[in-house]
Amino acid sequence: MSFNHNYTQVNDFKLHYLREGSGLPLLLVHGWPEYWRTWRKNISDLADYFDVIVPDLRGFGESERSEIVASEGYGIKNHTDDLMTLVDKLGIDKFGFVSHDLGAYVGQRIARKQSTRLRGLFFFDCPYPGIGRRWRDPEHVDEIWYQSFNQQPWAANLIGANRDTCRMYINHFLTHWAGDPDAFDEADREKWVTTFNSGENLQGGFDWYIAADDARKRLMRDGPQPTEPVKVPTRILWGEADPIVKSEWADRLDEYFADYQLDTVPGAGHFVQYERPELANNAISSFFSDLA
């Protein structure tokens, strides 16, 4: 399956993105450890109805890793600014935003800062402030070890020492976080390893955790701060078998989203869009077609 690959200068780096189809623009934004390929089962179906734009975030996939201190260049504000610069360069006014994991943080920031640009938000397994201190619950703390590990100055050199070490590390997340450990086939897992074991992609992904650390610890220490709910129409599919962003943590969504619909997906884990592509594609198409 071939897609249209494009590159453009965004702020201080070259950003890679795919673009297929026509209609209402939809941004599909990945998480960690991911890149555009996490949407490969969604792009063609959605491109029958929408202008599908699939960027690699700064430092991920085929996008460059800019030479800037991680804490100053890889936070949510930076990723948000990068994507808004991209849509402006493409001449896009209003668009839909589809994401999960890291991408969901970006979508929420856009919704709070530039809500008039958004037709709607669609999240998979959505991290949001209401999770609060539960990130460090005794029953959960063993799941978040990588968030500290990824910040070590030697982490990328250790994991990227050779293809086998990278494969062991990346495959842990693709198997452990999925509802079915075999959800990612061998060909895709090898593509993931090739991507993250080339250039500076490991460090580019790890830079996000360095940049997010203060906010992450503040949330776990103090809990979420009061904030106005997102008013942009929001649709959420949440995998019931996700071990890292638990579906039961959706219990405070109504405090942070004024207009949302949630459905959980039995048997699916963290990567609902990849594990249940037909369900995901139908839900995305229905949601944004109604809004358009």
Given the residues 45, 56, 82, 101, the one annotated as active site: 101
Tokens representing residue 42 in the block: 């969604």
Give the integer Cα–Cα distance in Å for 162 and 166.
Answer: 6
Rounded to 10°, the helix 201-222/186-196 angle is 90
Closest CA to 269 of 99, 98, 125: 125
Render 5-58 in DSSP notation, one character per residue.
Answer: EEEEEETTEEEEEEEE--SEEEEEE--TT--GGGGTTTHHHHHTTEEEEEEPPT
Given the residues 209, 256, 260, 274, the one annotated as active site: 209
Tokens representing residue 241 in the block: 């078998």
As a three-state string, the secondary structure of 136-197 is HCCCCHHHHHHHHHCCCCCHHHHHCCCHHHHHHHHHHHHHHCCCCCCCCCHHHHHHHHHHHC
209 in catalytic set: yes
Give the integer Cα–Cα distance in Å for 202 and 65.
Answer: 10
Give the integer Cα–Cα distance in Å for 126 and 270.
Answer: 10
List Cα–Cα distances, 141 to 84, 101, 148, 176, in angstroms. Answer: 34, 18, 11, 15
263 in catalytic set: no
105 in catalytic set: no
Q: Are 121 and 50 in contact (CB under 8 A)?
A: no
Torsion on CA atoms 61, 190, 172, 152, rounded to nearest 10: -40
Phi, psi angle pair for 280, to nearest 5°: -65, -45
Helix (H, G, I), strand (E, B), or coil: what is residue 68? coil
Given the residues 16, 30, 79, 270, the one annotated as active site: 270
Catalytic machinery residues: 101, 209, 270
